[in-house]
């Protein structure tokens, strides 16, 4: 039996009087890719932020069987739960190299593998190597996304929370990024929780997926099943 890397139970988040998450429950089995899909404002990013300790929440989240509800982000990074923020979640005022060096800032166990992981990152994203001493703010959108993912990988995640990796990118870059997510998962055994608006691509690579609709899970199933689901097709895949 697969153990669950992450179990979320009855997770609730309030922003002022607005309930952004109305008590959702789901799990991420070890070694799998699980997606949360849904429209803008459905609560996808909020879910990730609540898991990684970045917004106050109720409910229970456990990682490797231990509750992490009261832990701070930097402690979670230390345990291998690494959140790769959406879009421009890099530091534009630092160089590419400095951004990558921050990948181990909270993760002591990855320090001695820094050089090795840096090379792995360069193999995945050769373009970053060319731009190593450039300020990260001068990179293109796609390259910034690559940098964010490479930085997360340098911390040797056991669970990678990946927020909207395709946001605002050209279709070819999106394809490349998704291929790399699969590669990370298959070759490195990294468990991935992916949040995406690009439902089609996300479902294609996911073992399992949840559809989030205004703070509740409205549908769940295997990635391939949801791809064939009529409602999903109509609402999220733009097919009729």
Minimum CB distance to another protein, residue 49 (Å)? 8
Q: Which is nearer to another protein, 106 or 141 (CB)?
A: 106
d(CA 224, CA 36): 14
Out of 39, 102, 167, 235, point to the residue binding another protein (CB under 8 A).
102
Residue 210 near residue 47 (C-beta atoms within 8 A) = no
d(CA 180, CA 114): 20
Which residues in the chain belong to E strands, given as ranges?
Answer: 4-15, 18-29, 33-37, 58-63, 66-67, 81-84, 159-163, 191-196, 208-213, 216-222
Buried b (16+ CB within 10 A) or exposed e, 88-101: bbbeeeebbbebbe
Stretch that binds another protein, among 77-85, 119-127, 179-187, 219-227 (CB under 8 A): 77-85
Q: Which is nearer to another protein, 139 or 227 (CB)?
A: 139
Out of 91, 134, 216, 218, point to the residue binding another protein (CB under 8 A).
91
Q: Which is nearer to another protein, 102 or 176 (CB)?
A: 102
Size of the chain in residues: 240
**Residue 149 near another protein by CB under 8 A:** no
Out of 98, 158, 207, 220, point to the residue binding another protein (CB under 8 A).
98
Out of 93, 119, 138, 140, point to the residue binding another protein (CB under 8 A).
93
d(CA 137, CA 131): 11
Task: Give the Å distances, CA to CA, from 183 to 21, 33, 105.
Answer: 31, 11, 24
d(CA 201, CA 192): 15
Q: Which is nearer to another protein, 43 or 78 (CB)?
A: 78
Q: Under rule CB under 8 A, which residues in 172-201 are in contact with another protein?
A: none
**Residue 57 near another protein by CB under 8 A:** no
Q: Which is nearer to another protein, 107 or 131 (CB)?
A: 107
**Residue 103 near another protein by CB under 8 A:** yes
Minimum CB distance to another protein, residue 63 (Å)? 15
**Residue 152 near another protein by CB under 8 A:** yes
Calculate helix-pair angle for 114-124, 141-154, nearest 10 degrees. Answer: 150
Q: Which is nearer to another protein, 157 or 223 (CB)?
A: 157
**Residue 215 near another protein by CB under 8 A:** no
**3-state class (DSSP) for residue 57:** coil
Footprint on this chain of another protein (rule: CB under 8 A)? 49, 52, 54, 72-74, 76-78, 82-83, 85, 89-94, 98, 101-103, 105-107, 151-152, 155
């Amino acid at each position: 039996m697969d153990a669950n890397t992450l179990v979320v139970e009855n997770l609730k988040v309030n922003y002022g009087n607005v309930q952004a998450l109305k008590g959702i429950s789901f799990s991420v089995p070890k070694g799998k890719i699980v997606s949360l899909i849904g429209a803008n404002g459905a609560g996808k990013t909020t879910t990730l932020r609540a898991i990684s300790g970045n917004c106050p929440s109720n409910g229970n989240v456990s990682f490797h069987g231990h509750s992490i509800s009261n832990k701070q982000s930097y402690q979670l990074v230390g345990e291998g739960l690494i959140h790769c923020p959406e879009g421009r979640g890099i530091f534009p005022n630092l160089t590419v190299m400095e951004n990558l060096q921050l990948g181990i800032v909270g993760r002591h166990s990855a320090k001695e593998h820094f050089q090795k992981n840096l090379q792995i990152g360069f193999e995945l994203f050769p373009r970053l190597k060319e731009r190593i001493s450039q300020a990260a703010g001068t990179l293109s959108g796609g390259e910034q996304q690559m940098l964010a993912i490479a930085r997360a990988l340098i911390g040797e995640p056991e669970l990678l929370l990946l927020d909207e990796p395709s946001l605002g990118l050209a279709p070819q870059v999106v394809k490349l990024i998704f291929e790399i997510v699969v590669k990370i998962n298959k070759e490195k055994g990294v468990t991935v929780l992916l949040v995406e608006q690009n439902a089609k691509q996300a479902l294609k690579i996911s073992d399992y997926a949840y559809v989030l609709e205004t703070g509740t899970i409205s549908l769940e199933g295997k990635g391939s099943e949801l791809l064939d689901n009529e409602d999903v097709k109509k609402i999220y895949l733009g097919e009729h």
